[in-house]
Amino acid sequence: MVPRRGVEPSKDSVSGHIISIEKPFRWVVKNAGLNVKEINRHTLRHTAITHLVQAGVDLPTVQRISGHKTLQMVVRYSHQNGEHIQSAMDVLEKRYGLGD
């Protein structure tokens, strides 16, 4: 449920624009029933990067999308699960005729 009044400009903003997304973000997280202590803006970044990697997007492309300066940071932000790792192993098995 988004507030009807919209998002107010920051009180410190000279231009009248929002200069920090932190309060509106916490509001959205809280109203989604999620824990504001566990979810922050970087959670979205980690999630997006993980989804790109798991979808098979190559790391240099993910790096350009995310704006990271190094591939090492892309790897740090991506979180692989067992299913993704098994899929990678299945590709190797199929390619080299391994397995049963």
* 45-85: pLDDT as tens digits: 999 999 999 888 999 999 999 999 999 999 888 887 778 77
Annotate 23-46 with b (16+ C-beta within 10 A) or e (fewer). eebeebbeeeeeeeeebeeeeeee
> Concatenated DSSP letters for 63-90?
HHHHT-SSHHHHHHH----HHHHHHHHH
36: in domain: yes
pLDDT at 100 over 90: no
**Total domain count, the chain:** 1
- Residue 67 forms part of a structural domain: yes
* Between residues 98 and 94, the one the model is more confident about: 94
Specify the 3-state DSSP secondary structure of 94. helix
In-domain check, residue 16: no
Quickly state the pLDDT bin for 2 (edges 50, 70, 90).
very low
Measured in degrees and rounded to the nearest 5, phi and psi for residue 31 equal: -75, -10
Q: How confident is the model at residue 81, as a pLDDT? A: 76
Which residue range forms the structural domain that includes residue 70? 22-96
